[in-house]
Amino acid sequence: MLKHDRLAAALRGIDGRGYKAYRRIQGRWALPGFSLTFDHVQGDPFASPSRARIHIDPEDAGLPPEACRRGARAIGTGCLLARTFCEVAEATSGRRGSGRSGLIAMATPGQKVLENTAVMVSGDGGVEARFTVGLPARGRKVLGRQAVQLLLEDLPRVVEESLVGRAHDPEQILLHAKTNEDAEALRSQLPAYELVAFVADGAHLPRMSGVDDRPLQGDAVVPFRSPETLQLTLQLPNAGEMSGMGVPKGITLIVGGGYHGKSTLLEALGAGVYNHRPGDGREHVVTAPDAVGIRSEDGRSVASVDVSAFIDDLPGGTKSRRYSTENASGSTSQTAAIMEALEAGASVLLIDEDTAATNLMIRDRRMQALVPKAREPITPFIDRVRELHKTRGISSILVIGGSGEYLEVADTVIEMRGHLPAEVTAKALEVAKEHPSGRVPEASGPIAPSPPRRPIRNSIEPGRGRRKVHVVARGSGTILFGTGEIDLSAVGQVVSEAQIRGVSRGLVLAWERFMDEALTVPEILDRVLQAVEESGLDALGRENSGDLALFRRHELAAALNRLRGLEIDDP
């Protein structure tokens, strides 16, 4: 390992030379209190920034030992350090020349707490941080003296103010560690109480906006309070007793007037598959880990999905047992999303009528009289929702504001009144009896087992030009995959660019290692997640990449299923 004074000498020695002279600093350097490793040095100031790592030994990091236990605590602590690193780096670093010269950056954790490769805390309290840095240049000439200031003055300041224990209040570090552990403990208790979700009393559910996931502030925010009939108290390892609303398995309706908080509650339940940082307002809102949001998605592609549970064979001879299209309608896209979620192992479906296809959700008595079932290929969701629960154990949570037909099939009905829930199941059953709809159930038979889907490897091509793999994540909604594009903007449980980058690399891993074995889609998902569990997120990307976050099998399946050109083997 080279000493930091030698790094300073090396940088001054290349001052004014061509930019590629920076490659002389690739490798590991010892700095006071930490080591700095350059894994990749950019060849041009306008190219992607250089990738670097910092390693801090436990005695230099000085983190509280109880905040570094492997698992949930270490992840919570790591996300706190990563957020702080990003804040301090933004305030400390600045442009020093051409392109991205002088900028220090890291993948920023948002409100969700996800395992990631930005900052990793080991069980013994060591810290590894991965980030990018723009090495200073004027044009394509090295600014060696400015690089000395950047790497030997600014960077140590960022480390000192973010990645070590003395930069934080010890109680805050423990709060982030323990909050994450408590969320895991809450979620693990759901099956024992026959629940699919839990919302703690006092939770703050509204967000700043549809594009800002931070909690809404102000006196208008109404803290959540459970109705007595659904309230229970659970025991947490750190926070102790926690009271709140349990959402039972089965069919749950969220009803109420407009602007009273129906969709806000459902969105919080969808986000509850992930943990949240302290102060988010949803730290103690948890949902079954295999809950999947479902919506219609006009124009998406569908590859050989069995939609026969909801759609009969279509005019023109199109078979619904292996349905494919490059341009799905609202109803067929939502049907495909349901069946794909079940294939991937979903245990709960989350549906908001505002984003659902009306003709898939319901056909009332008048429409049944006007268009007889013989001329209607669609079996509405209302006629399958109870069967899904009884025969497959699939629960559904639905926001319903316009169709009272669903009152007849509900197990639990929650009415939102001024952003507070009231349980009105008994009243809903009364209303259903007093006002019979007269509609006739339209399911012609039980849901048949779907044929297995085995992706054809040659239909999944991540290469572009001379590059065997060309995969780029853009924002939190798009993957450029080879010469094509995967649109995940309608997949609400994709939550960050780092996560979508993890998904994109998961697809590449599946293509490279698991698609030559005639495996089914669930088997491929199993293999990818097993590789991540065994080798960490580094199994997904280039060595020592710091811009990946963990995803569920459901987000990986969503990306695979939306890959245009995907073909399924049809024996």
**What would the pLDDT profile of 435-453 be if each residue is shown by its tens digit?**
998 999 999 899 999 999 9
Nearest to 505 by CA among 469, 459, 534: 469
Residue 210 included in any domain: no
Tokens matching residue 59: 């005695």
Residues 479 and 555 both lie in one domain: yes
Residue 535 included in any domain: yes
The pLDDT tens digits along the chain (571 residues) read: 667 789 999 999 999 999 999 999 999 999 999 999 999 999 888 888 999 999 999 999 999 999 998 799 999 999 999 999 999 999 998 877 777 788 999 999 999 999 999 999 999 999 999 999 999 999 889 999 999 999 999 999 999 999 999 999 999 999 999 999 999 999 999 999 999 999 999 999 999 998 899 999 998 899 999 999 999 999 999 999 999 999 999 999 999 999 999 999 999 999 999 999 999 999 999 999 999 999 999 999 999 999 999 999 777 777 899 999 999 999 999 999 999 999 999 999 999 999 999 999 999 999 999 999 999 999 999 999 999 999 999 999 999 999 999 999 999 999 999 999 999 999 999 999 999 989 999 998 999 999 999 999 999 999 998 899 999 998 878 999 999 999 999 999 999 999 999 999 999 999 999 998 789 999 999 999 999 999 999 999 777 899 999 999 999 999 999 999 999 998 7
| Number of domains within the chain | 3
Tally the C-alpha atoms within 13 A of residue 252's C-alpha that lie toward its C-beta.
28
> According to the model, what pLDDT value does residue 482 have?
95
Residue 553 included in any domain: yes
Secondary structure class of 29 (helix, strand, coil)? strand
Residues 418 and 513 both lie in one domain: no
Rounded Cα–Cα distance for residues 561 and 564 (Å): 8
Residues 305 and 426 both lie in one domain: yes
Residue 264 included in any domain: no
> According to the model, what pLDDT value does residue 44 have?
87
> According to the model, what pLDDT value does residue 98 have?
76
Residues 396 and 465 both lie in one domain: no
Tell me how many helices (H) and strands (E) the chain has: 15, 30
Residue 113 included in any domain: yes
Residues 463 and 371 both lie in one domain: no
> According to the model, what pLDDT value does residue 60 have?
98
Residues 378 and 339 both lie in one domain: yes
Backbone conformation region of residue 17, classed left if phi is above 0, alpha if psi is from -120 to 50, else beta: beta
Inter-residue contact 13 to 144 (CB < 8 Å): yes
Q: Determine the residue type at 330.
A: G
Among candidate residues 147, 168, 189, the one where a domain is terminated: 168
Among candidate residues 168, 202, 233, the one where a domain is terminated: 168
Sheet-wide strand order for 395-399: 291-294, 348-352, 395-399, 251-256, 412-417, 420-423
> According to the model, what pLDDT value does residue 1 have?
67
Backbone conformation region of residue 291, classed left if phi is above 0, alpha if psi is from -120 to 50, else beta: beta
Residues 422 and 471 both lie in one domain: no
Structural domain range at position 537:
454-569
Among candidate residues 105, 133, 168, the one where a domain is terminated: 168
How far from chain centre, in Å, is Cα 570?
31
Residue 301 included in any domain: yes
Full-model pTM = 0.96
Residue 527 included in any domain: yes
Secondary structure class of 148 (helix, strand, coil)? helix
Q: Which residues pair with 496 in a beta bridge?
A: none
Residue 514 included in any domain: yes
Residues 376 and 458 both lie in one domain: no
Backbone conformation region of residue 62, classed left if phi is above 0, alpha if psi is from -120 to 50, else beta: left
Residues 471 and 387 both lie in one domain: no
Residues 513 and 475 both lie in one domain: yes
Residues 360 and 478 both lie in one domain: no
User: What's the angle, vertex CA 14, arms to CA 9 and CA 16, rounded to 5?
Assistant: 135
> According to the model, what pLDDT value does residue 267 have?
98
**Which residues 6+ apart lie within 8 Å of 337 measured at CB?**
294, 295, 296, 297
> According to the model, what pLDDT value does residue 215 have?
96
* Percentage helix, strand, coil for the chain under 3-state DSSP, each rounded to 5: 35, 25, 40
> According to the model, what pLDDT value does residue 475 have?
80
Residues 458 and 421 both lie in one domain: no
